[in-house]
């Protein structure tokens, strides 16, 4: 069974770049404390990197549950990776979760994390849970998405039963080819079973 709050494994240099971007979003909220805390929920490759340390992500896919005005130039950071190579991390302003299979409670259930330079009373950074992250990969079900699901399974972060259950309960709100998505759920469940079973 997957741990509720598994250890996070981001590369420290990447994490510093991530924190820089998030602190700029925090600053864009203004000097006054917002009446209601703003939530930014991280998905995609950035969330994968937090959980597994694998797959360096060049972009941050995140849903900000508020309207925030910020200069797009402030949403990218050039940095030198641990391997010495020049890298760029940017906040993907084109990210759209409308075409993904996502459980209705995914954002409510997302895991809050502390990020240096970000006041969590103003801007709360959350990560999709590993199972919701896996579910979000089922719509496109690309080779990269399938590998991400395998990686979550290898780290013991998801089970086939939890993935099937969460995905099926997300179906009522999904608009798309249900036959195809059900087929993806079945394939993903078998993939995870092959990794998790002794």
Closest CA to 148 of 109, 111, 100, 192: 192
pLDDT of amino acid 68: 85
**Which pTM value belongs to this model?**
0.93
pLDDT of amino acid 30: 84
- Tell me the pLDDT tens digit for each residue of 2-25: 556 899 999 999 999 999 999 999
Residues with Cβ < 8 Å from 2, sequence gap 6 or more?
130, 131, 156, 157, 158, 159, 162
Q: Which helix (H) or strand (E) element contains residue 63?
A: strand 59-64
pLDDT of amino acid 3: 55
pLDDT of amino acid 173: 87
Cα separation, 147 vs 24, whole angstroms: 32
- Tell me the pLDDT tens digit for each residue of 27-37: 998 877 777 89
Residues of the chain with confidence (pLDDT) below 50: 1
The H-assigned helical ranges of the chain are: 12-28, 44-52, 106-109, 130-136, 143-154, 160-170, 178-196
pLDDT of amino acid 198: 60
- Sole residue written with tokens 């997302």: 110
Domain boundaries, given as residue ranges, for the chain: 12-196
């Amino acid at each position: 069974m997957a741990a509720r709050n598994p250890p996070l494994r981001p590369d420290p240099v990447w994490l510093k770049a991530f924190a820089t971007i998030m602190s700029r979003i925090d600053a864009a909220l203004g000097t006054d404390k917002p009446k209601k805390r703003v939530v930014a929920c991280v998905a995609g490759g950035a969330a994968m990197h937090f959980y597994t340390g694998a797959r360096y992500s060049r972009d941050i896919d995140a849903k900000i549950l508020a309207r925030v005005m910020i200069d797009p130039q402030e949403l990218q950071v050039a940095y030198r990776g641990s391997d010495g190579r020049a890298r760029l991390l940017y906040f993907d302003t084109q990210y759209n979760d409308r075409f993904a299979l996502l459980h209705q409670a995914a954002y409510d259930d997302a895991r809050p994390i502390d990020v240096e330079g970000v006041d969590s009373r103003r801007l709360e950074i959350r990560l999709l849970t590993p199972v919701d992250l896996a579910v979000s990969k089922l719509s496109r079900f690309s080779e990269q998405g399938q590998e991400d699901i395998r990686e979550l399974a290898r780290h013991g972060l998801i089970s086939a039963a939890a993935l099937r259950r969460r995905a099926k309960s997300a179906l009522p709100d999904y608009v798309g080819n249900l036959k195809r998505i059900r087929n993806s759920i079945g394939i993903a469940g078998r993939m995870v079973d092959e990794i998790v079973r002794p």
